[in-house]
Amino acid sequence: MDYTRERYKEQLPAKALRPYVDCFWSSLAPAHIAPVTRRILPDGCIDFIFDLSPSSSCEGKVVGTMTRPLLFQITDSVCLVAVRFRPGGAAPFLNFAADEVTDLQCELPREWRMVRLSDRLRDETTLSGRIHQLESALLDRLAETLPVDKRVQIAISMIEQGHKRIGAIANEVGTSRQHLNRLFRQHVGVGAKCFGRVVRLQQLLAHVETTKQANWSFAALNVGYYDQAHMVTECRSLTGLTPTELAAR
């Protein structure tokens, strides 16, 4: 294994957390790593991130749902451990609406700081031990929370399956378009239409990664864009890059 490079890992959560949590992840980089900038793209998710690097005093932070790319520069040793929630899955673990942290990085809610989770993570010497601490804290909190709103869950699933008409989705879940958007902002961090744009972007990235093809007209239609021009406009808006530039990264 090359220990001169950044190492990134993901791990699935316990079964009870899977309706809420996409994965636990870690990113480790040695002090002598060459400086590198990572472009983190919108994915519709909220993360709780703990920076356990020797030089950090971070008590943990919430990284909100993104509508634009986040540039993360690595210039020194890095030790990050985090939980990535499924779209809408962070809501039961927050004490505020998800759109209050959209495109922001903020302190963890007070109840998370009170349990000294950062200290417990630092006391662990292995990645598995740190993930176990994160998982235990989430399971403890889960017992005190309400489930994700079923209307939001169904609407998210419909959008991920390719349904684009927000009004029709609202009718399906038994609410108005305006109220569905309020629910999305509260639980997901962005409105339903914006979430659909992020889903299409992620599907485009997955399509290109899977097919290894640069037939952009085919790719655009395959994931639900009106045409190639629509795809390029949306991609640049959400990532700052064209599809061709993204594929070359």
Residues 135/14, Cβ–Cβ less than 8 Å? yes
pLDDT at position 1: 39
pLDDT at position 2: 45
Averaged confidence pLDDT in the chain: 90
pLDDT band (50, 70, 90) for residue 213: low
Q: Where are the domains of the chain?
A: 7-142, 150-247
pTM recorded for the entire structure: 0.91
Phi and psi, residue 88, nearest 5°: 85, -10
pLDDT at position 228: 94
- Share above pLDDT 90 across residues of the chain, in percent, rounded to a whole number: 64
Please name the fold of domain 150-247: Arc Repressor Mutant, subunit A (1.10.10)
pLDDT at position 133: 95
Q: Is the pLDDT of residue 175 over 80?
A: yes
Q: Is the pLDDT of residue 35 over 80?
A: no
